[in-house]
Structure 1
Amino acid sequence: DGGRFFSGPNPGVRAGLLREGIEDYAYLWLANGGAAPQPLEAALADPTALSVASSMTSWTRDPDALMALRHELGLYIEGSRDTLPTLSAGGDGRPRGDYRINFQDPGQTLALDQSMGEWIIVGWQPWDDEAGLGWYGEFIGDPGIALYGYDEVAGYDEAGRSYVYDDYGRDNLFEFALENGRYEVTVAVGRPGAAYANDPHNLTVEGQVLVDDEPTTDAEPQLVRTAVVDLIDGKLSFEVGGKSAMTGQYAYTFLAYATITAVD
């Protein structure tokens, strides 16, 4: 009867799922130091998992890179290698260098300062393989929810005055195809023309939390934060907005601009 379930010459879906489950268990057991996890105890992500996904909304979508990682993981499970493998993807993105992205209504012409390099204009376009940039999100295709804004306020340049935001406050993912390496990324969130004490902003760049459930104030209506990130999957990820831990509700995050600088 076992042959009917696990027929070597004719493996079925159930057999495939069983094999996958055994492999997953072996991997997770080894990644946890050769021990089973304990109930109700938090555990850090192992290097393999962390290289594939930085959060619940940002993960690698390259099937070839995932297949190569799975092969290396099999070598680790069988003992042919003694370290957990990490994913390596990319190669089709923009060359290493410096980039500036302004999030704005693409139909609006702004006098952006081009002295430090050309700005890449980004609205709410969905991810596009050819363009090598775009959004993933629940309402990015709805012009009544995926909105644009501009505040003509003294003390800010055009990049700071313009912004995009989700009117429902949902968490959205923006990705920018880029050659792997180390980069310094600076991002601005918030409306220069209004403070949002009851709408804490949230922003994560390549797994690093830059703005953590932080309201904006009259004294600081726009938050500018910088992080140094190591890109390994060929796509720089910006996770914007989402449900606020402080209020328990979805909250606005106004995304203005990002600058990307290659560093050694």
Structure 2
Amino acid sequence: MSFAKGGDRMNKILILGASGFIGNAIYKELHSYFDTYGTYYSARRSFENNQQFFRYDLEEDDVHDILNKVKPDLIISAIRGNFQAQVMAHQHMVEYIQNRDCKLYFISSANVFDAYSKYPSYENDKTLSESIYGRLKIKIENMLLRIPVSKMAILRVPMVFGINSPRIKEIKNALTNKEPIEVFPNLIINVTNDDKLTQQIHYLINHNKSGTFHLGSVDLIHHEDFIKEIVSRLGNYQPIYKRVFTTNEDRYLAVLPKTNQLPKNLLFNYQEIIDHHIFSE
């Protein structure tokens, strides 16, 4: 399966969770280049009136129905919701792609490594998580690791920022309402935003890439320093910080590339993510 345009046929992409922040950013990046479809759950008129969008209730609907309707060449899973229902949906996706010329890209998380705190994590490191969220992602990753690598990609993503991101909205609300903003002085992270992430995913699709990819900044920063830098870009506020210490030593929650490197023009550092937040209301 090649993702170059063949004849007059555009490749079909189905994004599950296309009404969420990351899913919608991926849809916006891809829809001009591919025949792109998406699912939404909460009824929003912009999705209801879009012929490319299907309503999908993770807990009530069988994902097979949408897959059989769209017949995608590539599925991108960015769904959120009930954890058990997510596991079931991904089992059905894996069954679907096994018998067809179709691939699955799964948006995973740095949290698959949140039990390893002494170092940043690389693509082939063993996963281990202490969080329910991290364990869910590991469970789905392990499903994908049992099928031929050519059929799938695991895209591990660190904390995602961006002007319209839930994280930035939360920070802005706290600033406006003079509420404390949680910072983790001992946590060392890498970061991304919606623009950088979707450009990288677009590249992976164009080049028909498979395997495990770590999609974040190539350098690391303390969470507290990063959030304070962002806040200084958001305007002239008097922030209140709540410093949360989970351990006495520094701990890492960072996914760095080693085996599967992207081209230099797609790499970025955390300063670019900070600078992206300079805007006026």
Q: Into which bin does the TM-score normalised by the smaller protein fall?
A: under 0.3
Larger strand fraction of residues: 1
Q: TM-score, normalised by structure 2?
A: 0.24
Larger helix fraction of residues: 2
Larger radius of gyration: 1
